[in-house]
Amino acid sequence: MSTIQIRTPIPGPRSQALMKRRNAAVVQGAFHATPVFVAKAEGAVVEDVDGNRFIDFAGGIGCLNTGHRAPAVVEAVRRQLDRFLHTSFNVLPYESYIAVCEKLNALVPGKGPKKTILVNTGAEAVENAIKIARCYTKRQAIICFEDAFHGRTYMAMAATSKTHPYKAGFEPFPSEVYRIPYAYCFRCSYSMKYPSCDVHCVRHIEDTFKRVVAAESVAAVIVEPILGEGGFVTPPAEFYPTLGAICRKHGILLIADEVQTGFARTGAMFACERLGLEPDLVTMAKSLTGGLPMAAVTGRAEIMDAPGGGQLGGTFAGNPLACEAALAVFDIIEKENLCARANVLGERFRKRAAKWQAQWELVGDVRGLGAMQALELVRSKTTRQPADEETKQVSQYCYEHGLVTITAGSYSNVIRLLMPLVMTDAQMDEAMDVLEAALAHVAEKKGALTAQLT
């Protein structure tokens, strides 16, 4: 498939017809970022039902690091289709489940022997990691962070920060979940400046143990190495080594939620490797399978074995099609050196984004690691007021001109990049041309409006 080609208005007539059916049949809570309906996809390009082609900066919300329909993934799934679709590992086990666990045990960072359980979704992985941590430590409390996202099931929602649309109206949530500020230097909760702050945000946990929840009651701290839905916030270098030391001091487990950061996105197989984070448990999903639903929890063997037989599992957990896809994904990441490719794409973006930041008041912050990059948009660099409406306008301009993007951030003012890592240089440049045009368009509109008001 070629790159951008707009044949009809966006959304086209077929997409509009499908939207009417969707509104009549599907709950409004199942939100989607664009009004176009996909017909096919390959690599880093998607085509809608009206024949319009788009470069994909969303990647199925980070599920397609190896690209749409990676040939090795498709072939692995086809081979499995000829054998069997489902038996449930809890009844009739199969080798591919074991092979995925073995591979993750070898790849996931952390000291000592490891074990793995496969589940269905990132939220389910988070739920199981917390169950395992509580079972092992015989403690109840969980500490999580402001601006974090861990999923939409109840324990995962309790650990998630953003109220709308994720939490409001679904109360009450499970108890013994405590939230502390993250290292969001662009919007420091303590009005401090890095590095003179001496990463006060993480050292303040000791005060939390005195004033909020006792350290000896805390089973685990759960953290995304880089915030995902919270806006791709990347902490200072000292943050994770300091957090790890505090957790070890108090016998608290450290759960790294690598659901969005994992599988080469940040320039390493896992973000922990680049950030000095030594986890006891790691949750994974999204790009683990190249587009099929599967998730995992990997951790120190003695911790993972704390629950007894039958206490963990699920009917569809570790589906054989997804297992075969995951094994293919591991090979693709290694053979195509996607970790290095992530760094190349990220650097290509940052060079352009630095110019945008210097040029427009709208671009408040450029941040990220590897290909996990983001722009935080503001109405003023002085006040840093979130530009949420302007962010929507940028995203809309992009998809109307052949680029699919998604937003993020607690204030809905972040444009994040989750493009397939197999994207070509030409596709990347073309996509950034569209994003640059979108920023210019919105910045000029904003400037014209300001001039009228003054």
Taking residues 51-62, report their average pLDDT: 97
pLDDT of residue 318: 97
**Run of H or E residues at 87:** none
User: Does the pLDDT at position 451 exceed 60?
Assistant: no
- Look at residue 349 in the predicted model and tell me its pLDDT: 98
User: What confidence tier does 5 reach under pLDDT thresholds 50, 70, 90?
Assistant: confident
CATH number of 73-335: 3.40.640.10
Q: Is the pTM above the cut of 0.85?
A: yes
Share of the chain above pLDDT 70, in %: 98
How many Å apart are CA 61 and CA 76, to the nearest integer?
A: 23
> Positive or negative, the Cα torsion across 180, 298, 85, 67?
positive
| pLDDT, position 446 | 74
Helices and strands (DSSP H and E) totals, the chain = 15, 15
pLDDT for the residue 3: 62
pLDDT at 359 over 60: yes
User: What are the tens digits of pLDDT across the range 331-352?
Assistant: 999 999 999 999 999 999 999 9
- Say yes or no to pLDDT of 49 above 60: yes
Instruction: Kindly write down the DSSP assignment for every residue of 330-355, as one continuous string.
Output: HHHHHHTTHHHHHHHHHHHHHHHHHH
Q: Where are the domains of the chain?
A: 13-56+337-453, 73-335
Q: How many CB atoms lie within 10 A of CB 430?
A: 17
Q: What is the pLDDT of residues 145-187, one digit of tens each?
A: 999 999 999 999 999 999 999 999 999 999 999 999 999 999 9
pLDDT at res. 375: 98
What pLDDT is attached to residue 4? 72
CA distance 130 to 144: 11
pLDDT over 90 (residue 447): no
pLDDT in tens, 232-259: 999 999 999 999 999 999 999 999 999 9
Mean pLDDT value of segment 76-87: 98
CA distance 387 to 124: 33
Mean pLDDT of 430-449: 90
- 24: CB partners within 8 A, 6+ apart: none
pLDDT of residue 303: 98
What is the CATH class of 13-56+337-453?
alpha beta
Strand intervals (E) in 95-151: 114-119, 141-145
pLDDT digits 0-9 by tens, 6-40: 778 899 999 999 999 999 999 999 999 999 999 99
Task: Give the pLDDT score at 450.
Answer: 58
**Contact criterion met (CB below 8 Å) for 33 and 70:** no
Q: What is the pLDDT of residues 391-423, one digit of tens each?
A: 999 999 999 999 999 999 999 999 999 999 999
Share of the chain above pLDDT 90, in %: 95
- Compute the C-alpha angle 31/37/39, nearest 5°: 140
Name the pLDDT band for 445 (thresholds 50, 70, 90). confident
| pLDDT of the residue at 449 | 60
E strand map for 114-258: 114-119, 141-145, 177-180, 218-223, 253-257
Residue 448 confidence class, pLDDT cut points 50, 70, 90? low
Q: What is the pLDDT of residues 205-241, one digit of tens each?
A: 999 999 999 999 999 999 999 999 999 999 999 999 9
Mean pLDDT of 443-451: 72
Q: In the predicted model, what is the mean pLDDT of the chain?
A: 96
pLDDT of residue 452: 55
Distance CA 260, CA 253 (A): 21
User: What is the pLDDT at residue 148?
Assistant: 98
What's the confidence (pLDDT) of residue 6? 77
